[in-house]
Structure 1
Amino acid sequence: MAMPRDVAVIDTMLDLPYLYRNWNQAWSKVLMDKESRSGKETHPAFYMFKDPVDLPRGDDPIGGTLAEMDRFNIGMAVIGLTDDLAIEAVTRHPDRFAGQLAVDPNQGMEAVRALAEAHERHGIVAASFFPCGVGVPIDDKRAFPIYAKCVELDIPIFVNAGVPGPRMPMAPQHVERIDEVCWFFPELKFIMRHGAEPWTALAVKLMLKYPNLYYSTSAFAPKYFPKDIIDYANTRGADKIMYAGYYPSGLSLERSFSELPGVPLRDHVWPKFLRENAERVLKLGDRSARAADAASRASA
């Protein structure tokens, strides 16, 4: 049951320090209450985090992030391609950073083309989609071209599921909506993000049903990981659950890694949860091998 210390963790949700993030503007159409709309840089789920991270970008944000990753034995992080700095990190350190692109199905073919371009130019390993944030339900027809493109590119998609933290309608992320998507796209690797609460029992039932449906622990401090998910990981779901933090959006690495040893995972589950599942589903082992080969050729 002890968390191993020799596993190079893959964090499937980590980002570089933000230069500027206007949450209000990004989700202005769905944030209605005064508190959520009041601060340009205030996380819209501010009420959920007791000690939110306040991280300046600094002079060397890539080096600083790598140093933090090394402190906690994070071998690789999946980061959002939010700006040129993120692209630089993925390009310069392909063995440590892998890119994922957030897509908005409201943009139609523009979103599909952006996904294809990011895959070709920057080697992204996943797409991501926040249904409540963009007002598009998980099973909406506007999202289907995105799912189809992910199948074509052979990359997974991270999709927020369950009641969202920000004060916006929850209906787009009801876990039952995942059922039709997995049924219609059996080849699609679909990874739930941000809890799936309060429908975690349903999330487990759907993971039992669909072989390409997975769950990441993003945005939850480890002591709050849902019991249904941990029980499933310890039984039939050892290959379905993967680690994700929420640094620097809401959780510090110190908090996540101080609480992780208290998670009651079985010994054989820990390596899968911390690294092996993400490495397999996102094909990160192939990426690391290609990066090592490129470095070897460059130094020859």
Structure 2
Amino acid sequence: MIIDAWAQHPTLRQMQDPIFDSLRRWTRSRLPEAELPVAATLAQMDAAGVDRALISAWHAPRRTLIGNDEVAGFVAQAPQRLVGVGSVDITRPMDAVREARRCVQELGFRAIRVLPWLFELPPTDRRYYPLYAACCDLGVPFCTQIGHTGPLMPSEVGRPIYLDQIALDFPELVIVGGHIGYPWTDEAVAVATKHENFYIDTSAYVPKRYPPALVDFLRGHGRRKVLWGSNYPMLTPEQTLDGFDGLGLDEQTRELFLAGNARRVYALDA
């Protein structure tokens, strides 16, 4: 089994948002002109042998790029393949808490994700704290981006070391830091080593670009702390699995990395 821990089924307004212009330059992709059908996302999963994908909503300050109800609609089209991840606007903390509860209790989502660079606020900002408490009460992971940003926004808020303080304040909170944490991967590995409930996912990177510190962690004492992800549609699952065998993982580590850790962290067997 293969589970993609970080993906999106995008809306047209997300794909057309000017914030992603820099990514389009890197990937040399054209500005989309039509909505992407769910069947296209499933086809990309099939091409790489991916069984399930966690697809997320996207909320920015005072605007929605992919709505939670839209994600629920996508999941409804392929409930055996797609798993919902909610998102909220933390600039109004109590609204964010109420929406997080709706995502989990009514829409059946398995996690909540907030991207610090969209808000230009580090995870230690007071506006996140009610959401952390809500995630603990709901029993779902808090997912976030760590490392530099592709869009032309400040990267500092993505430093993994900020999450050390969050893990100290909320030891029962499961935290998943996506995008490896580069150029601060050593920080990410240190936080994951220190805190039982902190995990790293490899979305947005192909195996040949994994930093050596992460590969060493994955091969060794971090085999239960790293999840594979694609960051589809920016990268396809096929691209982010290309070169996987070159990591030199044993059979147990392969299974944990590609599926077992995600299944446990997101309670996908429940």
TM-score, scaled to structure 2 = 0.88
Deviations 1:216-271 (A, max 9, x none): 011112221121111101110010000000211x2123322333333332332100
Q: Give the aligned residue type for 2:256.
A: K
Query: Partner residue of 1:134?
Result: 119
Q: Contact (CA 8 Å) 1:87, 1:122: kept in 2 or not?
A: yes
1:172 to 132, 149, 157: 157
Q: Aligned-pair distance for 1:213?
A: 0.4
Q: For residues 184-199 of structure 1, what are the structure 2 equivalents within 5 Å?
A: 184-199=169-184
The unaligned stretches of length 5 or more in structure 1 are: 1-7, 25-39, 287-300
Alignment of 1:26-37 (within 5 A): none
Could you say which residue in structure 2 is the equivalent of 1:75?
A: 51
- How far apart, CA to CA, are the structure 1 residues paired with 2:182 and 2:19? 26
Partners in 2 of 1:85 and 1:117 — Cα distance? 14
Q: Contact 1:217–1:242 (CA<8 Å) still a contact in 2?
A: yes
Structure 2 counterpart of 1:124, from 94, 103, 109: 109
Question: What one-letter code is carried by the residue in structure 1 that aligns with 2:39?
Answer: G
Opposite residue 243 of structure 1, the aligned amino acid is: W
Q: Identity over the aligned pairs, expressed in percent?
A: 29
Shift of 1:51: 5.0
Match of 1:160 in 2: 145
Could you tell me which residue of structure 1 aligns to residue 198 of structure 2? 213
**Residue number in structure 2 paired with 1:150:** 135
CA distance in 1, matches of 2:264, 2:207: 23
Q: Which runs of 5+ in 2 are unaligned?
A: 58-65
Aligned residue-pair number: 261
Question: In the alignment, which residue of structure 2 is the partner of 1:283?
Answer: 267
One-letter code aligned to 2:108: G
CA RMSD of aligned residues (A): 2.2
Distance 2:4 2:170 in 1: 26
CA distance in 1, matches of 2:70, 2:134: 26
Distance in structure 2 (CA, Å) of the matches to 1:198 and 1:228: 11
Confirm or deny: 8 A CA contact 1:216 1:241 kept in the other structure: yes
Q: Matched residue of 1:158: which SS? A: strand
- Equivalent residues in 2 for 1:198-237, closer than 5 Å: 198-237=183-222
Name the SS for the 1:101 alignment partner. Answer: strand
* Larger CA Rg, structure 1 vs 2: 1
CA distance in 2, matches of 1:73, 1:53: 26
The alpha carbon displacement at 1:45 in A equals 3.6
Structure 2 equivalent of residue 267 of structure 1: 251
Question: What one-letter code is carried by the residue in structure 2 that aligns with 1:76?
Answer: R
**Secondary structure of 1:255's match?**
helix
Range moving further from structure 2, 263-272 or 209-218: 263-272
Are positions 1:91 and 2:67 aligned together?
A: no
For residues 137 and 167 of structure 1, the distance between their equivalents in structure 2, rounded to whole angstroms, comes to: 16
Does structure 1 residue 16 correspond to structure 2 residue 9? yes
Distance in 2 (CA, whole Å) between partners of 1:282 and 1:210 is 17
- Residue 97 (structure 1) shift: 0.9
Structure 1 runs of 4+ off > 4 angstroms?
Answer: 51-58
